[in-house]
Amino acid sequence: MSNKRVMRWIGAGKSIATDPSVKVLCPVCQKVYLKVRDIPNENNPSEVERQMLCDKCGAFNVLRLTR
């Protein structure tokens, strides 16, 4: 993974961590906005897994957040 792509993922993660409704272009293809969904952690109710997915190129990343 290129350094520029890594930095774009970091920027996307920071933005989406604070506001899951923010529109962020896919860090990989930069053609469509990432889809975001929260998955509760059944083993730890204070944690949520925030998944980021690109429907165009299939790029995927996850944040683990504490509520």
Cα-based torsion angle of the residue sequence 13, 29, 31, 36 in order, rounded to the nearest 10 degrees: -30
Spatial distance between the Cα atoms of 28 and 10, rounded to a whole number of angstroms: 12
- Tell me the one-letter amino acid at 52: M
pTM of structure: 0.88
What does the pLDDT look like over 6-65, one tens digit per residue?
Answer: 999 999 999 999 999 999 999 999 999 999 999 999 999 999 999 999 999 999 999 999
The maximal CA–CA distance of the chain, rounded, in angstroms, is 36
Q: What angle is formed at CA 29 by the lines to CA 1 and CA 13, rounded to 5 degrees?
A: 65
> pLDDT confidence of 2, banded at 50, 70, 90?
confident
